[in-house]
Amino acid sequence: MFSFHIERLATPIGHMLVVSDQNDRLRALGWADLEERLQRQLTAYYGSRFKLQSGPTSALVRNALHGYLEGKLDAIDAIPVETGGTAFQRSVWEELRRIPAGVTLSYSELAKRIGRPKAVRAVGHANGSNPIGVVVPCHRLIGSNGSLTGYGGGLERKRWLLKHEAAARVGLI
């Protein structure tokens, strides 16, 4: 049985739901207005083997998230994560964490990076199944034509996150 803590953090784009385990690893991150989606993801990865209780996440996770939102984009790089998922999904999510803040890639570029150039749709599915938005930065993937594509937190949040990262990279935050 997994015991997870969930904490709500206020952000400029809504209340963030931060789920961590007893070892201070981030297990999920979502949005309060999409809490059912977060619950479905946790159930998909852990079945009925988890208990979710309200409580604080670690200071490391909380401070890193606040730092990121204040413009210290690399602050989230230090957050330890445990994602569950298949080996392929984890390979996609690990590669997502290697995309620098403020940089975007297409799904096909990411498929090439993981050595699976024909797995573009599978990369898209894994990206959409990512339980740890923002920290595992699925918002940095865009369409091959440069268009914003789906984001589990909503396209407005994706747009905000990309603008936030671009502004912080050029020193406007």
Cα 94 to the center of its chain, rounded Å? 11
**String of DSSP letters for the chain:** -EEEEEEEEEETTEEEEEEEETTS-EEEEEEGGGHHHHHHHHHHHHTT-EEEEE----HHHHHHHHHHHTT-GGGGGG--B---S-HHHHHHHHHHTTSPTT--EEHHHHHHHTT-TT-HHHHHHHHHT-SBTTTS-GGGEE-TTS-----TT-HHHHHHHHHHHHHHHTT--
Looking at 42, 64, 138, 141, which residue is catalytic? Answer: 138
Q: State how far the alpha carbon of 151 is from the alpha carbons of 53, 134, 139, 163, in Å.
A: 26, 11, 6, 15
Active site residue 68: no
**Which residues are known to be catalytic?**
138
